Structure 1
Amino acid sequence: MAGENKNEANIFTQYIKSRHSLIKNSKILQTTYIPDNLPHRKDKIDAIVEILAPALNGDKPSNILIIGKTGTGKTAVMNFIGKELRKADPQQENVHFIYINCEVNDTAYGILYSISNQIINNIEENKIPFTGWSLDKILATLTEMIDKENKVFIIVLDEIDRSIQKNGDDIFYYLTTINEVLQKSRVSIIGITNNAKFTELLSPKIKSRLGEEKLVFPPYNVEQLKDILYNRADIAFDTGVLDDDVIPYCAALSAQEMGDARRALELMRISAEIAERQGDPKITSAHVKSARSKIEVDAIVEVIKTLTIQSKILLLGIIKNTEKGLPTMTTGDTYAAYKSVCECIGQSPLTQRRITGLIQELDMLGIIHARIKSTGRTGRTKEIELCIPRDLIEMVKSDDLFKDYKPPTQRTLM
């Protein structure tokens, strides 16, 4: 009966019974959570608010370019300011704040589509279709939609460099010059990038337009990271759940890695999750060490998944050499194995010179270790060594690219 099914055990029952809950509010530990207080970013918030405040009176603010490394608070600050703008103008009579992640919407069509859908507040009959229109038609329609509103639009383009590298800067030329054709509304653009050389990607025609005001977000130092973590921990955990050295340890590790607050939060969150899964009563530095290892492995997994086809083939060649008893190999050994894999899966091989460049990329990503070794009178050679654990090796070998891979059979002389 229904009552009997309610008590019936399933695969989650054992987990639920044994789980020792340590996290009071998991949402607080997410990097997407925007707190009411952003420690050590008041100066940046004040500077941006000063620039944007005229929009509440219907005046167009300057465009802004925000530059800073990953985890320096750029996105959090802009989303916080967007939330405050909506409080100041709840009916959006004067200002409409729009946030676009250009890593998610990485095409010109996708960016314009996302902007238009946020403007029209989901009125179905006015929506620009997800695909099918020419860019000229979208631009004309979007311009008309914006001008009908008779207000200031603040459009935040996060990870703006991703789109420019992929599609060029034509779309951003349109967005920075749209005010020349608008009669009633005004548009201000805020670009966010972690590329310090971003402006070098821009053509002269939009460089000065987009960078009217420029703000640089510095990395957090260890003391600032501790303040951020204590701020979150006070809400996310009950008193006594964290060992005293957990937050300083998370902050120190993240400060060593360019002052990344996202990294610090992930370390603390994953440490707590590991402690919960193990049924431990407190979160300790040992859990932080485990979390650090897990994050590093997860990061390498993502890197491997996004490698190009040729880089994956090269990596499989290195793996095959390693499995044949070559823990270290020369560039020549590597190229021969790479060509063999290409032949087995029907791919055209690149030149050895191109493969040398890909070897350097894999080295920089930490997937392999390539070092120059002197061979005396014969010159120098590069020694290559695989640096990923066994489970990631199996992940590479099981990639769909290699589903038809059949290693060449070894011929024996009779």
Structure 2
Amino acid sequence: MLLEFDDEDGLIRDRALLDPNYVVEEDRIVGRDDQLREVTRMLRVALGDNRPPNLFLYGPSGTGKSLITKAVCNNIARICDGRELGFGTIEVNCQDLDTLGTAVYELAEQAAEQADVEVAVPKHGVATKEKWDELFRILNENFDSVVFVLDELDMLVGRRDKQEPAFSRLLYQLSRAGADDGLSAFVSVVAISNDTKLMEAVGSRALSSFTPEDVHFDDYDADQLQSILRRRKDAFREGVVDDDVIPLAAAFAAQTHGDARKAIDLMRVAGELAEREGESRVTESHVRRAQARVEKNRVLEVIRGISTQKKLCLYATAAVAAQRNDGSARSTTGYRVYQYLTDAIDVDQYHQETYVNKMKELTTYSLVDFERRSHGPSSGMFLEFQFGERPQTILETLREDSRLGSISADAVRSVVNAQTSGRT
């Protein structure tokens, strides 16, 4: 059976091109000429056996931050190999790291893997300083220059009993590497985040030693997304993609912060749906069904890991946004719906300030964003939340939780209607 499937001519010729994390050649990178030039200009000094400056790359998800960093570092590594310079790119995604000690060990593991050596200290049961010492030993013995790429850095918060977040302490230690630890390898840091205000949360000592060059990445527009997809169209066999597939996939992705990852995912899922159904072409219908599937899968992945209280806050806010033409929700209205939900399932009810803070925390997942607004000097301030995905998709996914699913959707809509129309 496996060999029979292997002999079939599928619609997708090169699946790697439909992987958003695959590092493509520079001629496939679209709409990021300025950022590509800036990152290249600043990191290229590693070719002369010098220390590159630290960088802070910020902007929405899927706008090319990680892609460009990896592409430039890969090219530097190839040239350094020819010049007998030991250049390393040590990359970690901080979303999966919970403490500073975990982060340092992960960096040591990545460095050891790249150098084809072993980490000489255990992951648990030793002080974080020993992990730092081991990381620096590996660097000294195997590299002339290293770029640490810290993706989604804002997610590395660490223990709540620490006044300074873990990402601030990590930046401080890495940016001071070589000053007082005997490190001979040149070390620079590329911090990547969706949070444009991340540097405001970095401690003064860390900021003073980190002093990054900023590179901003804005949203892709629909035309740029079309160009990105056209440069990956050869992932499919010749002539199997209908003309309206790429414009539609780009339009869907442009609605959610111009996310190139989502555009590429849509093309992949649409192709897989067509293959699974034995179709000879990828059509607009496949893209529309892929849109619903990708959106729900992404929301489900995020929602699985959040607490019941965050689910309630998100459910209440999405319920308000789902019934507004512009898809927005005021914090004041969302909180009143949240109060109804907590009463309905008999759980602790937080104050409005805590509800707002829970919603702010959810912005790190790119599900929701917010702006401060006011109706005038006498009306006070409120937050207005905007959703990156369709609010209805978020509601459908949240209702898969049995406690939320037990609440009547019609009753929630009635509460929202009463609150938005000014009734109590």
Q: TM-score range by the shorter chain?
A: 0.7 to 0.9
Q: 1 CA distance for matches of 2:35 and 2:395?
A: 45
Q: 2 CA distance for matches of 1:315 and 1:332?
A: 12
Which deviates more, 303-312 or 262-271? Answer: 303-312
Which deviates more, 140-149 or 388-397? Answer: 388-397
Pair 1:112–1:248, CA change in 2 (3 A): same
Partner of 2:400: 395
Partner of 2:387: none
1:16 Cα deviation after fit:
4.5
1:130 Cα deviation after fit:
2.0
Q: 1 CA distance for matches of 2:205 and 2:199?
A: 12
Contact preservation (8 Å) 1:70, 1:260: yes
2:124 aligned partner, one-letter code: T
Partner of 1:383: none
Q: 2 CA distance for matches of 1:160 and 1:202?
A: 11
SS of the equivalent of 2:88 reads strand
1:28 aligned partner, one-letter code: L
Pair 1:19–1:394, CA change in 2 (3 A): farther
Give the number of equivalent residue pairs. Answer: 349
1:105 Cα deviation after fit:
3.5
1:397 aligned partner, one-letter code: S
SS of the equivalent of 2:176 reads helix
Q: 1 CA distance for matches of 2:294 and 2:34?
A: 31
Show the 5 A alignment for 1:6-405.
Answer: 16=5, 21-36=10-25, 37=27, 38-90=29-81, 93-120=85-112, 121-124=115-118, 126-149=119-142, 151-164=144-157, 167-168=165-166, 169-181=168-180, 182=182, 184-233=184-233, 235-312=234-311, 333-339=340-346, 342=347, 349-351=348-350, 353=352, 357=356, 387=392, 392=397, 395-397=400-402
Cα RMSD after superposing both structures: 3.5
Which blocks of at least 5 consecutive residues in structure 2 are unaligned? Answer: 160-164, 318-335, 369-390, 405-424
Pair 1:136–1:246, CA change in 2 (3 A): same
1:352 Cα deviation after fit:
5.9
Pair 1:165–1:44, CA change in 2 (3 A): farther
Partner of 1:4: none
Query: Could you give the per-residue CA deviations for residues 107-166 of structure 1, whole angstroms, max 9, x where no partner exists?
Result: 322221122223332423x43322221112222333344334462221111111111476
1:265 Cα deviation after fit:
0.5
Q: 2 CA distance for matches of 1:67 and 1:216?
A: 5
SS of the equivalent of 1:132 reads coil
Query: TM-score, normalization: structure 2?
Result: 0.72
Contact preservation (8 Å) 1:152, 1:186: yes
1:265 aligned partner, one-letter code: I
Q: 2 CA distance for matches of 1:32 and 1:244?
A: 25
Pair 1:202–1:64, CA change in 2 (3 A): same
Q: 2 CA distance for matches of 1:250 and 1:212?
A: 35
1:117 aligned partner, one-letter code: E
Query: TM-score, normalization: structure 1?
Result: 0.74
Pair 1:358–1:51, CA change in 2 (3 A): closer
Q: 2 CA distance for matches of 1:123 and 1:254?
A: 42
